[in-house]
Amino acid sequence: MMPTSTRGVLGAFYLPDEAKAAAAKVRAAGWTHFDMLTPFPVHGMEEAMGQERSWVPWATAGLALTGVLFAQALQNYVMVYDWPMNFGGKPHAAWPAFVPVTFELMVLFAAVGSAIIAVVAGKKDTVPQPPPMLVKTGATGDRFVLWISATDPQWRAEAAERFVRDLGADDVRLVNVDGGRDA
């Protein structure tokens, strides 16, 4: 029986520090198509993997500022220029009255805009992941799982499996196209 086409190799770690050290060693060894699947965020994992700081918080801040400016412009236009009304002798541009709407539009613009950015930017996935429904990794419970994809330029199945074992990973296995183990 011929072995099937391999998607990558998995290896499990049980402590966050071990996983972070393994990610740094994988990066130092020159692997570029790898990921660390974790049950919770691990401080410093991005640096260990060589990932750049995300631009999404800056986009969210810009969207929030856009919401504030839009809310203030709309309310000032309506209440001062388009249809000024006298409410108990208060000035037309009474900014304290505009705060609730301004806050709500700030949150709306930031939340909806960030969700759209996440959908659009999330389509660019550079590291093919293991088939989630076919491979039980334990990464959502208690394990930190290293994944090295077969799309990596230096991929050789036996060398990758040996490398992950040398890192001290448990449950090291090659994953084939249909999600099972390679023969």
Check if the beta carbon of residue 134 is closer than 8 Å to that of residue 173. no
Q: Has residue 135 been placed in a domain?
A: yes
Element (H, E) at 37: strand 34-37
* Containing structural domain, residue 20: 6-33+127-176
Last residue within a domain, chosen from 121, 136, 167: 121
pLDDT tens readout for residues 162-174? 999 999 998 888 8
**pLDDT for the residue 120:** 87
Structural domains in the chain (count): 2
Strand partners for 181: 175
**Pair 26, 166: CB distance under 8 Å:** no
C-beta atoms surrounding 107 within 10 Å: 12
Is 175's pLDDT higher than 90? no
Query: Is the domain of 116 the same as that of 148?
Result: no
**Is the domain of 108 the same as that of 134?**
no
Query: Which burial class, exposed, middle or buried, applies to 143 when counting CB atoms under 10 A from its CB (0-12, 13-18, 19+)?
Result: buried
Sign of CA dihedral 58, 63, 68, 70: positive
* Domain co-membership, 139 together with 165: yes
Highest mean pLDDT among 105-109, 125-129, 137-141, 148-152: 105-109
In a domain, 42, yes or no: no
